[in-house]
Amino acid sequence: MIARIAEQCFWLGRYLERAESTARVLQMTGQLALDAELPPEQCWMPALAIFGERGTFAALHGEQAEADGEAVQRFLTWEEGSGSSLVNTLFAARDNARSIREVVSRECWEVTNELYLWLGGEMGKAEYTHSRYAFYLHIRRMVQLCLGLSGSTMLHDTPLDFIRLGVVLERSGQTARLLDVHHHVFTGMNPGHLVVQTALWLSLLRAGSGFEPFMKSHSGRVTGDAVAAFLLLEARFPRSVRYCLEAANRYLRLLAAPEGQGQLGQESLARLAPLLDQLRPEALVGPEANLHALLTRMVEGTSELCQLIAREYFGKAMPLGTQVMGG
């Protein structure tokens, strides 16, 4: 397929996934703030940290505003200067979909476009004002509808492989950062009431859409280590880092040139292999185990992989975490 289109498919997937993730984290943080009895900054700071937006936010509103849930939500929803804000992410997703309108299915495009029009119009603003929970839920559902439709209304061929590659790589990075930030915050707190602790781990699971799957696989026994292991390693859970990277590995194998047709795609595969290698249960136990270091390697490794994919398939070098638009 055309290299430019492959790139736009990849970014369509990434932006859709990022929007869903932002909406989900904000929705869950809002719930957590209601029942976790935490100081507000411990609720809302992680939401900014997950998306790497603490610096931008502080520059605009000051660090103390991290305790202001409304300011954080407004920033991550409407801020034009933030690469993770919903308004920017959904604009970028829609812009990519529009540019490759002949590649994405009609259903998929219409959902993306409708969501974009809704968010930019009166209806989105009214929902944001009157029912925050419903606002985030609407965004999440529409994004999930679009991703679901892409799989059920498009040819299962290269364009869809690139969309899904974008989704899983974005997702593995999100889960790794989510886990890193929260684990750091929660374990660093004074050992307090067990019920509060449990509520925190559950909220972390909810922020990663993993509450029910975790309960099913752990029969309801919630500990910090079990939650971390689940979000990092659980091969059956579609948001775990391992699941996502294994999926990326499958797509990259599909996309790489068949043997005997040059080396195209081999470098990306070679970069992914050591990341997958580190995702073993032993990595989390014993005196040498360091969850934070491992997660950092995952986040950095994934973004390096994305750059390599850009070079191998899209014919360009790309700055970290951004798409070269209109190039």
Structural contact between residues 169 and 301, judged by C-beta atoms closer than 8 angstroms: no
Candidate segments 51-59, 71-79, 192-200, 261-269, binder of another protein by CB under 8 A:
261-269
User: Considering the complex, what minimum distance in angstroms separates the CB of residue 114 from another protein?
Assistant: 5
In angstroms, rounded to a whole number, what is the distance separating the alpha carbons of residues 265 and 272? 11
Other C-beta atoms lying within 10 Å of the C-beta of residue 297 = 15
Please work out the total of residues on this chain that contact another protein, with binding judged by CB under 8 A: 30
Closer to another protein by CB, 23 or 97: give it: 97
Q: What angle do CA 305, 307, 309 make, to 5 degrees?
A: 70
**Using the rule CB under 8 A, is 257 a contact of another protein?**
yes
Q: How far apart are CA 23 and CA 80, in angstroms?
A: 16
Interface pick for another protein out of 34, 102, 122, 219 (rule CB under 8 A): 102
* Nearest-approach distance from CB 64 to another protein, in angstroms: 32
Residue 114 in contact with another protein, rule: CB under 8 A: yes
Would you state the structure tokens that stand for residue 159, as one six-digit string?
């364009």
Assess 307 for contact with another protein (CB under 8 A): no
CA atoms of 301 and 228, how far apart (whole Å): 19
Shortest distance (Å) from residue 88 CB to another protein: 10
* Total residues belonging to the chain: 327
CA distance 206 to 229: 15
Q: Figure out which of the listed residues 58, 67, 91, 154 binds another protein, where binding follows CB under 8 A.
A: 91
Give the nearest distance from C-beta 252 to another protein in angstroms: 12
**Interacting positions 135-194 with another protein (CB under 8 A):** 158
State the nearest-atom distance from the C-beta of 125 to another protein, in Å. 16
Among residues 59, 117, 273, 324, the one that binds another protein under rule CB under 8 A: 117
By beta-carbon proximity to another protein, the closer residue of 234 and 312 is 312
Stretch that binds another protein, among 47-55, 70-78, 234-242, 312-320 (CB under 8 A): 312-320
Under rule CB under 8 A, residue 68 binds another protein: no
Query: By the 8 A CB rule, do 124 and 39 touch?
Result: no
Identify the CA nearest to 269 among candidates 298, 243, 249, 246.
Answer: 249
**Residue 240 main-chain phi, psi, to 5 deg:** -70, 150
- Distance from C-alpha of 84 to C-alpha of 93, rounded to nearest angstrom: 12
Q: Residue numbers of the site for another protein (CB under 8 A)?
A: 1-6, 91, 95, 98-102, 106, 109-110, 113-114, 117, 158, 255, 257, 261-262, 264, 313-315, 326-327
